[in-house]
Amino acid sequence: MKRSRDGPKRAWLIVGKRTMGKKEWNDELTIHRMVYELVRQGRLVFVGGGWGMPDEACTSYQAIIDSYTYSLRKLNATFLSCARPLVAWQADSFGHSRELSSLVAQMGFDGLFVNPISFDDELLRMQRRALEFVWRGSDDLGGDTDIYTHKLFDGYWSPPGYCFGSTCDDPLFMASDAVFNNVEQRIEDFITKIRYRQAPHYNTRHVMVMMGKRLGFYDAKLWFTNIDKLI
């Protein structure tokens, strides 16, 4: 979070309400001010707002609604409307409930991001350039349950070869060494990966590329520095 303040163009998102419920949030006034500032500037964005993957572990219909109700009210009371999550997030569920898509559509979310899905379904959608689609959660309720849905290509991980930090062993961007400078080659490789490996499976001119890793942001400065060079 502190590294986000190093540059006005640096932004990141938080998934799951648990992150904001730690003891440090109650004890550190400095953290309060930092979070308020980043949220107000639109550089810290909440996704979903409730518990991540709230429909897992035999969750009841009412429990899902209660989770979102409590969490979204808490975010609004704490940060006002600028913290309102715009998209729902199901990026770690092995199977996705149609009922959840119906619920988040009726709650007013603009989109739903999912991963993974059935291998057969994913292969068919890749062939048809249909990894983005409009999902109707309820035939009875009709259009009120339609929601834009996006299947993440590499999950919430960076493209292969572009994970930075102490938990990764991918090459870093090296530009200061007069002998070894790999920036141009790494950028060409990145563009090639996105253009030929990912973009052909989406029917859009805009391709979303995730940069991250599960429990991998221990070296925020290293991540931001390399992403800046890539951009």
- Residues recognised as catalytic: 92
Cis peptide before 116 (omega within 30 of 0): yes
Single-letter residue type at 99: E
Distance separating alpha carbons of residues 78 and 85, to the nearest angstrom: 13
Residues forming beta bridges with residue 202, ordered by sequence position: 130
Distance separating alpha carbons of residues 194 and 10, to the nearest angstrom: 22
Kindly list the distances between the CA atom of residue 107 and the CA atoms of 7, 30, 78, 85, in Å, as whole numbers in the listed order: 34, 33, 20, 11
